[in-house]
Chains A and B, each alone.
Chain A
Amino acid sequence: MTVSEQGLIVPGSGKLALPEYMRPQPGNHPPLDSPGYKSTALRHPKQPLVLLPHRLTEVTGPLLGDELITMQDADLTTQHAGEPQGQRIIVFGQVRDSDGRPVPDTLVEIWQTNAAGRYRHSREHHPAPLDPNFTGVGRAITDQGGRYRFITIQPGSYPWGNHYNAWRPAHIHFSLFGRAFTQRLVTQMYFPGDPLLPFDPIYNSVADQAARARMVAEFSLDDTQPEWALAYRFDIVLRGRSQSVFEEAHA
Chain B
Amino acid sequence: MSELLTPSQTVGPYFSMRLPWPEGPYVVPAGTPGAVTVYGRLLDGAGDPVPDGLIETWQASPEGRFAHPDDPRGPLPDGDLAFRGFGRAPTGHDGTYKIVTLKPGPLPAGDGRTEAPHINVSVFSRGMLDRCVTRIYFPDEAAANQADPVLQAVPADRRATLIAAPAGHNLLRFDIHMQGDNETVFFDL
Contact = CB atoms under 8 A, between A and B. Distances in A.
The answer to whether A binds B is: yes
Given A32-B132, A37-B129, A56-B107, A121 B9 contact: no
B143 interface: no
Contacts of B7: 28-30, 187, 206, 211-212, 214-215
Interface of B: 2-19, 21, 44-46, 48, 50, 52, 56, 58-60, 66-73, 84-86, 107-112, 115, 118, 120, 122, 124-133, 149-150, 153-154, 158, 178-179, 183-189
A210 interface: yes
Contacts of B149: 53
A202 interface: yes
Nearest to B109: A55
A63 B67 contact: yes
Contacts of B154: 50
B6 A51 contact: no
- Which of B52, B130, B133 has the most chain A CB atoms inside 10 A of its CB? B130
Contacts of A181: 58, 120, 122, 189
B125 A30 contact: no
Interface in A107-121: 109, 111, 119-121
A68 B22 CA distance: 12
A175 B19 CA distance: 9
A2 B17 CA distance: 46
Interface in A213-251: 214-215, 235-240, 247
Given A34-B129, A51-B187, A237-B4, A45 B179 contact: yes
B interface SS class: loop
B178 A45 contact: yes
A187 B56 CA distance: 16
A88 B19 CA distance: 23
A57 B6 contact: no
A135 B17 contact: yes
A219 to B, nearest CB: 18
Contacts of A100: 3
Contacts of B19: 109, 111, 175
15 contacts: A16-B73, A22-B2, A23-B188, A45-B186, A47-B185, A57-B118, A60-B66, A61-B58, A121-B14, A139-B18, A181-B120, A184-B122, A188-B12, A205-B9, A240-B2
Contacts of B128: 32, 40, 43-44
Nearest to B126: A39
A1 B92 CA distance: 50
- Nearest first, the 6 closest Cβ-Cβ pairs linking A and B are A39-B127, A62-B86, A42-B45, A137-B18, A7-B72, A52-B187
